[in-house]
Amino acid sequence: MAQRIAVVTGAASGIGLAVAQALATDGDQVVMADVNAAAGEQEAEKIGALFVKADLSQRSGCRQLIDTTLDRFGRVDILISNAGIQHVSPVEDFPEDKWDFMISLMLTAPFLLTKYSWPSMKQNCWGRIIHINSVHGLIASPFKSAYISAKHGVSGLTKTTALEGGPLGITVNSICPAYVRTPLVDNQIADQAKTHGLSEDEVIEQIMLKNAAVKRLIEPSEIGDLVTYLCSDKAACFTGSCLTMDCGWTAT
């Protein structure tokens, strides 16, 4: 195959940035998408990627991202759906607008990006779709109704599209990490502390790492390493899997 074209969403920081860097190091042409144009353009320049500002909570933003990639490079070989946010609140107080936004960004967008990338992958008889899911795509925790609902939906989307993609040379997988050292996690520590009536240190010890056998946060680069493996021909038999990278959280 000629140089592969990889689309990575939520790529201006955190997991998305680490994945974009890993794929670029692996020799892929990366298209980085984010709403944060200043950070995204700066990081894209460092690795020779194309940056596209896109609001993926809108159908038009998803369409624009894939159309821009196809116009520029003629194909989409790899799709990494990563963009997401968190909001911590009891269900009775959970803002309805926030629910709508989170479901649009973290469940509808992965579906639309898959749908729009699918014809290119089908035509070339090869594709890799990886959703950056969460351990919360497999199990639940309180006060995160929208996030957990979206991530459980992504698990179902992964399995369904894997069945459809198998005969076409397209694999679809999810990576389900526990807490990763990212701005998303840093920002929710204060929210968790307020909701649970704990200090921020207590949130890390008693909530984030409570169920983990390995008591540490996951590094974004570790997600990048797994993505590059799943995008390789060595991982051709991995499809429809929700791969846990959870420091033993779900072992109990």
User: Which amino acids are annotated catalytic?
Assistant: 147
Which positions ≥6 away from 103 have C-beta within 8 Å? 146, 149, 150, 153
The burial class, CB within 10 Å (0-12 / 13-18 / 19+), for 39 is middle
Contacts 24+ apart (CB under 8 A), 94-101: 94/145, 94/146, 98/146, 99/145, 99/146, 101/57
The half-sphere exposure of 114 on its side-chain side, counting CA atoms within 13 A, is: 26
Element of type H or E holding 140: none
CA separation for the pair 201, 189 (Å, rounded): 9
Given the structure tokens 């990048």, which residue do they identify? 224
